[in-house]
Each structure stands twice: as structure tokens, then as C-alpha cells.
Structure 1
Amino acid sequence: MGVKKDGDRFFFVHQDKHDSNSPIIECLIDGVSAPFAIINDPEANQLARWQLITKELEFVESQLIIALDRISGCKEAVSLDRSDREGVILKSLIDSAIIGYIKCFNQTKGRRVKLEVRSLFPTKNEFTYRKLHTSLKDLRDSYIAHAGVSNSEASQMVAVLDSGRRARVNNEVVVAHSAFILPGKVLITDFLGLVRYVLSKHSCSLQEKLNAFCKKVIENPKKFNVEAVFNKRG
């Protein structure tokens, strides 16, 4: 037995489907119910919180893949307007991806763990990724989370002469123009590469810790109160 990732073969059913902190009431492996027990241990709880970051990065990766696929399918530039369904979806995917990625580097009461920039980008070889990381953080801080100055949004007042559909009829109007644009396809592609780099480094480091902990549990199931589960082998 080894440490497995939920979401692939393993699926856990919570008592309240709308509350991920509610008790787990069933474990399914390939759709079949299986015996299980929660490991309530400080080291286990810490490792589980690190796994939250893994899953967050996986969501970000998927969001960027979907966004790039949708952008590639657009024959014309996407207009970011509330009435343009494709533009709304793309903006939501990219904004969410940036928020989710930077979230992994912020320590909060819930997770109490975070990724460290100095650990992931320690040498000059990672300078490009570190520079991109910084620009994404700035984009999140200045545009997505706060109303700062950004290339992604702007507003202007524009005077327009509207000739109308009727001949010889002119109307002087003033339009309050606001513009939202997507980051370029190159930036999104580079962002995907950065996420995959960070996910790979984080996953490798975490997997070593998970494997070591798994060995402890298997060698001493009584200590972790899981002997009843392991004794139910078919």
C-alpha cells in the first residue's frame, strides 16, 4: 500500500455535500465502497494541508489549459464585454487561475502552510520563472484583488459625433468608455509553464514526505488508530 491521490481512483463522500469540512461518511475506490479511518495526527494534518496546495495548483493548470484551448478556437479577438459569453468565461478562468496560484504563496488560518519563493526559485536558472511569478503577483494585487493601475483595465471619457441612421441628423454625445482586456496568449502559455514547474517541484518534495509517513502508518497502525481498517483485508 502507498499514498494515493484522491480524485483519480479514490473519492470521498462528505456528510454535507456543500461543506468540505463536514465528516467523511464513505470512501469509494473505483466506485466501490471501502473501509476507511481518519488519521488524526499532527504530522498527518500538516501533510494534508500541503496536499491542498497540490490540488490548488492542479486546478490552476486545468484552468489555463481550458483557457488556452478556448482562445485558440477564437478566429477573432475576444471582446471582454458582459454580453459576450466567451469573453466572460475566459476572464473568469484566467482571473481565477491567477488568484489560485498566488494563494498558494500566502499563509492563512485555514491552510497554515505556503510555498516559498526562495525555495522554488533559488538560482539564476529560475530567474525567468521568478520574474513571471512577480508579475503575476502584481497583476493579482493591482488588478484582480484591488482596483489599481493595470494594462488589463482602463477607462476614458470620449466625445462622439453620432450621425445616426437618418440623413442630416447629428447628435453630440459623450460616452463613458471602460475597457477590460485579457493577458496575451504568450503570457498565459508562459504562466502554464510556470505552474507546471512549481507543481512538479512541490509534488516531488511532498511525495517523499508522504511516502515516509505512509511507511510509519503501515508499520505501526495501532499508533495511528487504523488497525481496524487494515485488518479488514479481503
Structure 2
Amino acid sequence: MKDDWKKQELLDKKTGNVERVYTYKQVRCKRVVHSSTLALQLAGYTLIEKDLRSVSTWLSEIAKRHVDGPTHESDHHNRSTNRENYDIIKGLFVAALTFYGKCFSQCEGRRTKLNRSQIGDSFREMHDVCISYRNNFAAHSGAALFETAQIAIVFPRKYKNNVPPRIYRELNQPDLIWADDTDDASFVNLVEHVRTLALEKIDKLTTKIIEEEVLPKGFEYWSRR
């Protein structure tokens, strides 16, 4: 079906400001910024949903690059020799963990956040793992010691030829946590599950604002704004 509504975004390349122009049947519409409590909640969920879409994009790129590294299986540990590739993967993984965790944190500029209780039972274990990695690895090095560094002094067992000792820096840092394609509760599926929660909130709040705050005040009220 034809959609008579159109939106155009005009970017000022010098200032970075964006002007949004809306038309109905090619006629420019009036735009009123609404800032009620419900509207601010809707704006918050909009930011959350965008964050989760970004996480999905980064995880998709990880999946393309992740060919010989670790899975989420506890008995499968592998370390790739392609460090350039896995340094990029690690950056994407940290970004994904950070943005995912942000959706469950109280952030300035957002009036809402998601809660663990909203997540389906089958996804909660993976959610807890991701939040733990976010808190103890991505955001800062925590008590869980997901990353460690030790300084080792190494020298021959028998002192010969005046060989001086060497200092070695021993670093252990995860590249990512990953589940195989058959795991329904993978990080990828968790993100899509959580994104549906945000979309449901967006739909409900949109309907609520229209029915309770916009339509009751009538056309004349909004025309004068």
C-alpha cells in the first residue's frame, strides 16, 4: 500500500545539526516536540533499541571473522595465531558488551532501562555471563579476574656463561565468549530477544501517547503549539 507520509533528514555538515522535515501527500507538516513523562520513556526505549541493533551488527561482524577461536563450551579453549584479526574481534566484542550492558544501566539522558526480570528464563544465564564480562572485563578489571597479567623472572636452572635472567610479561585476556550455532541461548539470540522487549515497549508507549495525550487534546491544541 502507498504510504503518504514521508520523512527527510537534512544534515548541516558544518554544525552537525539535523533538520527533520515531514510531509503528508507532499505537503509539509507541523512538527511539535513532545516531552511528557511517557514521551521521555519512549525516547529512552528508542535509544535502547538502537544500541541493541548496533550490538547485533557488531556480533554479525564477529561471526564473519571468528573462524578458529574460542567457543562458549567450557571444555573448548583455543587461541588463534591471527592476532590482528582477533584484536579487531576483541574490540567489537568489548563494544557489544558495553552497549548491551548500557541497556540495563541507569544512564543520564534516559528515563528508563531494561531489567533482568524481563528476560526469558532460557536467556538469563547468558545475560548474567554477558553482564559479568561487561563489568569485569569490558568496563574495568574486576574481582572475577577475567584478565590477568603476571611478571615472571626466568633464568637457566644451572648458572652458565653468565646468562642474565629475563623478565617476561604473561598476559591472559579473553578474546570473546561465543556459543556455537546450535545454542539457542547464544549472545546473538539473547540480543534479539532483548530487542523484542524494547520494541514491545516502544509499540505500547506509542499507542498510549496517541490515545491518552494527543487525541484527547484535539487538533486545535496541537496547531497552536
SS in structure 2 of the partner of residue 178 of structure 1: strand
1:172–1:94 Cα change, 3 Å? same
The answer for the alignment partner of 2:72 in structure 1 is: none
Deviations 1:171-206 (A, max 9, x none): 642211223221243189711111111111221232
User: Please, which runs of 5 or more residues in structure 1 have no aligned partner?
Assistant: 163-167, 228-234
Q: Report 1:30-69 matches (<5 A).
A: 35=29, 37-42=31-36, 43-69=38-64
User: Please, which runs of 5 or more residues in structure 2 have no aligned partner?
Assistant: 70-77
Q: What amino acid does structure 2 have at the position aligned with 1:92?
A: G
The answer for the alignment partner of 2:136 in structure 1 is: 142
Distance 1:198 1:37 in 2: 31
Alpha carbons 1:152, 1:181 under 8 Å: kept: yes
The answer for the alignment partner of 1:104 in structure 2 is: 103
1:77–1:127 Cα change, 3 Å? same
The answer for the alignment partner of 1:128 in structure 2 is: 122
Alpha carbons 2:136, 2:146 under 8 Å: kept: no
Distance 1:117 1:196 in 2: 15
Q: Structure 1 residue 209 and structure 2 residue 202: aligned?
A: no
The answer for the alignment partner of 1:173 in structure 2 is: 166
1:184–1:15 Cα change, 3 Å? same
1:185–1:151 Cα change, 3 Å? farther
Shift of 1:50: 1.6
- CA-based RMSD of the aligned residues comes to 3.9
Q: What amino acid does structure 2 have at the position aligned with 1:129?
A: F
Normalised to the residue count of structure 2, the TM-score between the two structures is 0.70
Distance 1:71 1:157 in 2: 30
Alpha carbons 1:26, 1:33 under 8 Å: kept: no
Distance 1:28 1:73 in 2: 48
The answer for the alignment partner of 2:179 in structure 1 is: 186
Deviations 1:64-85 (A, max 9, x none): 11111111388x95358xxx43
Alpha carbons 1:107, 1:114 under 8 Å: kept: yes
SS in structure 2 of the partner of residue 62 of structure 1: helix
1:50–1:89 Cα change, 3 Å? same
Q: What amino acid does structure 1 have at the position aligned with 2:80?
A: V
Distance 2:99 2:66 in 1: 20
The answer for the alignment partner of 2:85 in structure 1 is: 86
Aligned-pair identity (%): 20
Q: Report 1:216-227 matches (<5 A).
A: 217=214, 220-225=218-223
2:147 aligned residue (150, 153, 156): 153
Deviations 1:40-90 (A, max 9, x none): 23133331222111111111111111111111388x95358xxx4322221
1:77–1:116 Cα change, 3 Å? same
1:218–1:62 Cα change, 3 Å? farther
SS in structure 1 of the partner of residue 170 of structure 2: strand
Alpha carbons 1:161, 1:172 under 8 Å: kept: yes
Normalised to the residue count of structure 1, the TM-score between the two structures is 0.68
Distance 2:141 2:49 in 1: 29
Distance 1:221 1:70 in 2: 53
